Amino acid sequence: MKRKSSFQMFDLLDLIKFQTRDLWRNCFHESEEFMDIYFDKKYTHNTNFTLRHRGETLAAAQLFPYRLTIYGSVTRMGYVSGLATNPFCQGKGYAGRVLRACHRKLLEQNTPLSMLIPGDESLRKFYESPQHGSYWTASYRKTEALDISGDGDFGAISVNRLDEWDNSLFVFFHRLTHDLPFMVHPSASDFFAAIEAAHLGEAYLLVAHCGKRMVGLCLAVREDDGRIMIRSLAIAEAEARAAFVDWLCRHCEVEKVWRRFAARGTDPGAEPYAMARVTNAYQFLSCIAAANPDFSMRIGVGGDQDLPVNNGWYEVKNGSVDYTDQMPERIVTPGGLAAMFLAAQPLILDLMMDE
């Protein structure tokens, strides 16, 4: 049997990329400009998972790596994006098979968590089913107008709008957000792809300086309803936030500037956002236990059709996790275990290109 040459393999990978983009075109109806950004700046051959038959890509999803900080620990998660099935092949379980491949890859990589953002409530129900991963809503947001009354005097701060951007912006953003305790942290490529996508509409990329020192970064957009919405905000001083809001109100001719804040699931006005499921229950619990040695619990995981190795009973005690033969009081799905910990805290997910 002849081995394929590197040239032939390159052609095949490009064909799969082309077919995956065509699935996007048929399923999501995104603009060609948005797909240019997504497939040039985020997509890689290694992050694309497909189901193919007779040379055709019938279903696909992209699985992007992210850094996650939770409960004093730093771990990794996979973000499932762009799950799409050929409209003529829906209802045959192809999407579930692609998701299963993503989950198994995360298990192989010792990545304990998978997250995704459903496009609507019907898709939230879709992902909750055992056939599609048993995801549960694990993060919430609430939309509020920014109150800058307590931010202080911002007269010494200057704000400028940028039409071009360079790596210094990400360096500033990364420095201010690197140690935030509950956040999905974008890479540099995620960061700049989100900025570029925002600028397909009416976007405002602003920087604030106090003298020569940079003290703030803000990405805001005008949404379809006319509201100015801040998508990402990183500030070294509270006065910078007030300066951004003042600038946006004046230049965009609005009375209020809005923000979607990360929220706990129990907070009044919280709306469901991202969904999650564990892909390695032992490792997920271990990362929380190691940073919180006084925390103890006994929990069971069941109903994981994609990764049966997760099904079992676990005891968290003295900073470690062990399997136990004592039946716990509570047995949850892999999505239920993720939501138990993540939904209890305001988890920041900015710049996910889902708005």
Q: Is residue 335 predicted with pLDDT exceeding 60?
A: yes
Q: Is residue 37 predicted with pLDDT exceeding 60?
A: yes
SS3 label, residue 23: helix
Strands (E), the chain: 48-53, 56-70, 73-85, 113-116, 136-137, 140-145, 157-161, 183-185, 203-210, 213-222, 228-235, 257-263, 271-272, 275-278, 297-301, 312-317, 320-323, 331-332
Q: Is residue 252 predicted with pLDDT exceeding 70?
A: yes
Task: Calculate the alpha carbon distances from 252 to 111, 136, 201, 248, 336 in Å.
Answer: 43, 38, 14, 5, 42
pLDDT higher for 321 or 29? 321
Tokens at 193, concatenated: 């792809």
Q: Is residue 251 predicted with pLDDT exceeding 70?
A: yes
Q: Is residue 129 predicted with pLDDT exceeding 50?
A: yes
At 11 the pLDDT is 87
Listed in sequence order, the residues at least 6 apart from 120 whose beta carbon sits closer than 8 Å to its beta carbon are none
**DSSP assignment string, 154-173:** -TTEEEEE-SS--HHHHHHH
pLDDT tens readout for residues 179-235: 999 999 999 999 999 999 999 999 999 999 999 999 999 999 999 999 999 999 999
Q: Of 189, 197, 134, 144, nearest to 167 (Cα)?
A: 189
Q: How large is the average pLDDT for residues 118-143? A: 96
At 1 the pLDDT is 46
Supply the pTM of this predicted model.
0.94
**142-171+188-259: which CATH topology?**
Aminopeptidase (3.40.630)
Domain residue extents for the chain: 142-171+188-259, 284-333
- For the chain, the average pLDDT equals 95
Q: Is residue 7 predicted with pLDDT exceeding 70?
A: no
Q: How large is the average pLDDT for residues 308-324? A: 97
